[in-house]
Amino acid sequence: MTSEFRPILLEDFEIAWPGFILQRVALNQHMPRVERLSEHEHSFHQILVYLRGSGTQELDGESIPVERSSQIVIPGGTRHRFVKSRHQRPVCLAIDFTTDFLDDWECMSRVSHTALLQIERLLVELHAEESSRAKSSIRISSLILQIFSQVELLARRGNVQHSSGPVSVSVSRVIDKDGFATLTPGIVAKTLNRSLDHLNRQLREETGMSVGQTISRSRLDEAMKLLRSRALPIGEVASAVGIDDQNYFSRWFRQKTGQTPTRWRAAMQ
């Protein structure tokens, strides 16, 4: 089975506490032959968090579409198979574990934007620690537990992102149409013929975010999408999301993700 995946990050270990044993964390890139795999099952439970690409997880005959931010819980003994839907090779975080407490976990969830950034930041730190000559097993265990804490909380509570309401959809359309170069919260409100205070109240009711926070999240999403490809230099990525000063872009990106654009890009590659 392992020959069908390219491991980007691999940790084999055993961290135990009452009712749980963590056995493995792997950040895997699906290779072409993975599409030809037949259904299979594991003796352990598995959580999959998709960081790139899209496809379908087939669980006991049920087809579940997955994409970036999708989280799937696969109980031990469940027949499953993954089929990708695009040319881009999917990358997913896989966590293998055993537990006596799985009955109330959500099978399918969507990781929030903030939680996904946190998971990616922790993975970068884990990779750096594992690669260090002076690596610390305590530090590695701490990072692994922080990652598991993020996904376990979502699986237990079904902490799905807020559904898009009509105001959120309207704001997103303005952002997509106008781009980031000259976009401000005031311009979005004016385009939608609302006062900014009124629009912020409506948007917070739907998503918990203001117009400014929504623009910032969309800008970060676009920057991360462009950084995943090596096609554009960092300066051009900055300009594409409306930030002409590359140094300011780097500081802004690091404030949002905990990593510089260069380091984040290298880790995601």
Check which CATH number belongs to the domain holding 8 and give it.
Answer: 2.60.120.10
Q: Are residues 192 and 119 in the same domain?
A: no
Residue 61 has what DSSP assignment? T
Q: Are residues 127 and 98 in the same domain?
A: yes
**What pLDDT does 162 receive?**
43
Q: Name the domain count of the chain.
A: 2
**What pLDDT does 241 receive?**
92
Q: Are residues 193 and 256 in the same domain?
A: yes
Q: Are residues 52 and 150 in the same domain?
A: yes
Q: Are residues 26 and 111 in the same domain?
A: yes
Q: Are residues 122 and 172 in the same domain?
A: no
Q: What is the mean pLDDT of residues 39-50?
A: 90
Tokens of 220: 């970060």
Q: Is the pLDDT of residue 266 over 90?
A: no
CA within 13 Å, CB half, 124:
21
pLDDT band for position 97 (cuts 50, 70, 90)? very high
pTM over 0.85: no
Q: Are residues 6 and 137 in the same domain?
A: yes
Greater model confidence, 208 or 239:
239
Share of the chain above pLDDT 90, in %: 22
Over the stretch 127-177, which tens digit does the pLDDT of each residue have? 888 888 888 888 888 999 999 988 888 787 554 444 467 888 899 889 888
Structural domain that includes position 44: 2-157
Q: What is the mean pLDDT of residues 40-69?
A: 86
Q: Which of 127, 157, 187 is the last residue of a domain?
A: 157
**What pLDDT does 89 receive?**
72
CB distance 108 to 70 below 8 Å: yes
Task: Return d(Cα 76, Cα 179) in angstroms, integer.
Answer: 45
Task: Return d(Cα 57, Cα 72) in angstroms, integer.
Answer: 8
Strands (E), 37-121: 45-52, 55-59, 62-66, 70-74, 80-84, 91-99, 108-110
CATH number at residue 179: 1.10.10.60
Residues in the chain, how many? 269
Greater model confidence, 182 or 49:
49
**What pLDDT does 253 receive?**
87
